[in-house]
Amino acid sequence: MGHRRLAIRDLSPAGRQPMSDASGEVWIVFNGEIYNDRELAEELDYPFRTRTDTEVLLAAYLAWGERMLDRLNGMFAFVIYDHRTKEVFAARDRFGIKPLYAWRPPGGGWMFASEIKQFTAHPKWRARMHPQKVYDFLNWGLSDHARETMFADVIQFLPGEY
């Protein structure tokens, strides 16, 4: 996991991402802001080490799993890797304010990013255009294709999708 942080809350090194729970088994990268993070933190029985909304998301996942999404008020895109179950949980806010893209590199695995250009740093990245999406753009000016993007191997999460 990798992340470049724009620190707004808890500017200390403890707020850096990727962030793990105390056991080091569950990891998160997060882009956005959770407006009701203090309220959620009060509901959670969790030994918080920071005052970040990132850690509140992590604690909410540990307590409520995917049902945490029903409680979130904010703009967000995040990816959680749970080493205990070997599962990835990725989600985007209801209005799609924060983008979230996924790409499956040759050879397997998944990469997630808030911008497609972040995938270009991967040594196996090859820009393969999606012919129908290019046609739609050149002929009709359409650039929003829901889940599909201009790149054949890249999808975007829809608003509210997880």
Residue 22 has pLDDT above 60, yes or no: yes
Closest CA to 73 of 57, 51, 90, 55: 57
Helix (H, G, I), strand (E, B) or coil at 131: helix
Looking at 43, 68, 97, the residue that finishes a domain is 97
Do both 56 and 107 map to the same domain? no
Looking at 97, 131, 150, the residue that finishes a domain is 97
- Which residues span the domain enclosing 11? 1-97
Using the Cα atoms of residue 2, residue 6, residue 8 and residue 12 in order, give the sign of their dihedral. Answer: positive
Do both 34 and 104 map to the same domain? no
Structural domain count, the chain = 2
The per-residue pLDDT of the chain, averaged, comes to 91
Q: Roughly how many angstroms between the first and final C-alpha of the chain, as a whole number? A: 18
In angstroms, what CA-CA distances link 155 with 4, 11, 67, 116, 151?
A: 21, 32, 24, 9, 8
Residue 23 has pLDDT above 90, yes or no: yes
| pLDDT tens-place string over residues 85-123 | 999 999 999 999 999 999 999 988 999 999 999 999 999
pLDDT of residue 1: 46
How many whole angstroms from its chain centre is CA 25? Answer: 18
Do both 116 and 141 map to the same domain? yes
Do both 12 and 73 map to the same domain? yes
Q: Say what the pTM is.
A: 0.87
CA atoms within 13 A on the CB side of 1: 20
Q: Tell me, what amino acid is at 80?
A: I
Contact 28, 18 (CB under 8 A): yes
Looking at 58, 76, 97, the residue that finishes a domain is 97
Edge to edge, the sheet with strand 87-92 lists: 19-20, 26-34, 74-82, 87-92
Do both 89 and 67 map to the same domain? yes
Do both 150 and 82 map to the same domain? no
Do both 105 and 84 map to the same domain? no
